[in-house]
């Protein structure tokens, strides 16, 4: 009987070990083990595409050999710090791939129990860095601390102002850039900031050579993870040309009206950019907060494997339970992060497809929900509508999201004989999708807010209010269309308008 139980325990440990290897090998981040000279003794599957080498090639090199010279000292200091305190820490480095392309990596290193080897986790942040470089090059922006001292400024703003970055950083922005504005204007916007309110308006800016330019600016507080205000972000548009041209027009009243309308449109864009900036900051924060547990999970898994290989085995049942939790948590966090970031950059390509096929696929997916079977869904499709090129998966998901919102409204308001109607038609080279329900509609005082980020009509435990905002962003940014909502006698109707091309 004892031998039988021992056999079962051994099999459980073997299975746990296999599951552990599967988790590590299938991690999205590169995970490896190297010695104190940084020579690899193990790499997982993800390291190959990150550096462009096969596994067997990586095992012949040190990790430091891939790092560019100007980043090697920071890497060595990271290893020394780990040897001294055994705590994992991280640093950004740039490596050269086999194809001679540069790759930016966020690496986390932890000293193993035997104090002879390190576990390294490498996350590819090249795209994030590239996006930041684009914003730096083309968007006028600056950051200040609470006293108005400049801590960061974009290259676009530096080029416009004529200053060098080092000449601006450390200077008070009001004394250098905004010094030509009246004390009344500066006091007004400073008062708004001190009360943690966003401020927008037009300000006169001074260039290094004494010339000036005008900006339309939106200023918002920067918060740390504890909710404390640590500084301010300035997002700006150069409106010098608009104001100069306006002053030269004979019909001043008419030109002022045109300029005001243009500024209003730009303010809308600025507000949208501000929302996207907040969204990007939130995504980065969530990604950082969730990726770190994944890295820790992976490192813990490596340490468990090492303990097992060194015959320092904990209780087998505990190992199985820990590994099962690690596997489930890693899977859930990874899929959530993937879904949360998909709205920014669509992974799938476009495809020629008919609106009828998209609606059919959306209804099939919606019907997989057991609660959906309590609701009748009807189609009204203009069959002669031609096929068009679009992001099939994303448009299908948007329709499913609208179906789910309708379903939840019907169930929340306890509507008997719930009905969802999806209508499609084609007018003037535009394809329209309408999703209507009898869920009693949306309150008039909030109907204009439902497409805003983090706004939700549901209880706090049901999501974060990103569903409709994400739909709107995908439709506008990637599908080139619009989405709006209006109430009718029995419920609400969402209308999607997409161009044929």
pLDDT in tens, the chain (501 residues): 444 544 444 455 445 555 666 777 777 889 999 999 999 999 998 899 999 999 999 999 999 999 999 999 989 988 888 887 755 578 889 999 999 998 999 999 988 888 889 999 999 988 887 777 777 878 889 999 999 899 999 998 999 999 999 999 999 998 899 988 888 888 888 887 788 788 888 999 999 998 989 999 998 888 887 888 899 999 998 888 877 776 666 556 666 677 778 777 876 776 566 556 556 645 654 565 566 566 667 766 776 677 667 766 667 776 777 677 677 767 666 665 665 555 556 666 788 999 999 999 999 999 888 888 889 999 999 888 889 999 888 899 899 999 999 999 999 999 989 999 999 999 988 999 999 999 999 999 988 888 876 666 665 444 444 578 878 888 888 888 999 999 999 999 999 999 987
In CATH terms, the fold of domain 129-238 is Beta-Lactamase (3.30.450)
**What DSSP element (H or E) covers 467?**
helix 467-477
Torsion angle, alpha carbons of 154, 157, 161, 162, to 10: 50
Calculate the alpha carbon distances from 56 to 21, 32, 311 in Å: 18, 13, 28
pLDDT at 5: 44
Q: What is the CATH number of domain 351-499?
A: 3.30.565.10
pLDDT at 2: 46
* Structural Rg of the chain based on CA atoms: 28
Q: What is the CATH number of domain 2-124+285-341?
A: 3.30.450.20
The DSSP secondary-structure symbol of 67 reads: B
Domains 129-238 and 351-499 share a fold: no
Residues 6 or more apart whose Cβ sits within 8 Å of residue 349: 391
Please count the CA atoms within 13 angstroms of the CA of 343 that sit on its side-chain side: 20
CA angle 352, 358, 361 (to 5 degrees): 130
- SS3 (DSSP) at 282: helix
Domain boundaries, the chain: 2-124+285-341, 129-238, 351-499
């Amino acid at each position: 009987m004892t031998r039988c139980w021992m056999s079962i325990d051994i099999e459980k440990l073997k299975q746990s070990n296999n599951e552990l290897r599967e988790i590590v090998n299938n991690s999205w981040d590169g995970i490896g083990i190297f010695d104190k000279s940084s020579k690899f003794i193990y790499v997982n599957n993800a390291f190959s595409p990150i550096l462009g080498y096969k596994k067997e090639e990586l095992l012949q090199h040190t990790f430091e050999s891939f790092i560019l010279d100007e980043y090697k000292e920071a890497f060595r200091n990271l290893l020394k710090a780990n040897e001294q305190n055994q705590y994992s820490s991280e640093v950004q480095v740039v490596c050269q791939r086999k194809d001679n392309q540069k790759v930016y990596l966020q690496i986390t290193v932890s000293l193993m129990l035997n104090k002879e080897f390190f576990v390294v986790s490498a996350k590819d942040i090249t795209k994030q860095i590239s996006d930041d470089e684009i914003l730096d090059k083309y968007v006028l922006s600056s950051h200040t601390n609470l006293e108005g001292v400049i801590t960061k400024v974009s290259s676009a703003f530096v080029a416009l102002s004529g200053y060098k970055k080092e000449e601006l950083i450390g200077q008070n922005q009001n004394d250098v850039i905004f010094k030509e504005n009246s004390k009344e204007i500066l006091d007004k916007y400073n008062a708004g900031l001190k009360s943690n309110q966003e401020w927008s308006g037009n300000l006169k800016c001074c260039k290094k050579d004494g010339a000036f330019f005008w900006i339309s600016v939106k200023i918002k507080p920067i918060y740390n993870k504890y909710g404390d205000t640590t500084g301010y972000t300035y997002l700006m548009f150069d409106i010098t040309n608009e104001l100069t041209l306006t002053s030269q027009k004979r019909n001043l009243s008419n030109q002022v009206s045109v300029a005001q309308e243009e500024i209003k449109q730009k303010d809308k864009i600025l507000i949208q950019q501000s929302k996207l900036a907040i969204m990007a900051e939130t995504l980065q924060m969530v990604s950082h907060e969730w990726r770190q547990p994944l890295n820790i999970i992976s490192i813990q898994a490596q340490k468990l494997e090492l303990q097992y290989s060194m015959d320092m085995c904990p209780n087998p049942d505990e190992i199985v339970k820990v590994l099962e939790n690690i596997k489930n948590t890693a899977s859930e966090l990874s899929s959530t992060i993937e879904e949360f970031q998909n709205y920014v950059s669509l992974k799938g390509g476009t495809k020629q497809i008919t609106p009828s096929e998209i609606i059919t696929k959306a209804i099939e997916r919606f019907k997989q929900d057991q609660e959906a079977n309590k609701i009748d869904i009807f189609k009204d499709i203009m069959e002669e509508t031609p096929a068009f090129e679009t992001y099939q998966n994303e448009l299908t998901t948007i329709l499913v999201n609208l179906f789910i919102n309708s379903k939840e409204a019907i169930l929340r308001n306890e509507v008997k004989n719930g009905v969802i109607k999806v209508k499609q038609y084609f007018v003037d080279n535009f394809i329209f999708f309408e999703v209507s329900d009898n869920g009693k509609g949306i309150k008039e005082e909030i109907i204009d807010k439902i497409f805003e980020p983090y706004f939700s009509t549901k209880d706090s435990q049901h999501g974060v209010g990103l569903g409709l905002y994400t739909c709107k962003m995908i439709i506008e940014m990637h599908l080139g269309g619009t989405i709006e909502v209006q109430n009718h006698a029995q419920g609400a109707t969402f209308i999607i308008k997409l161009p044929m091309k």
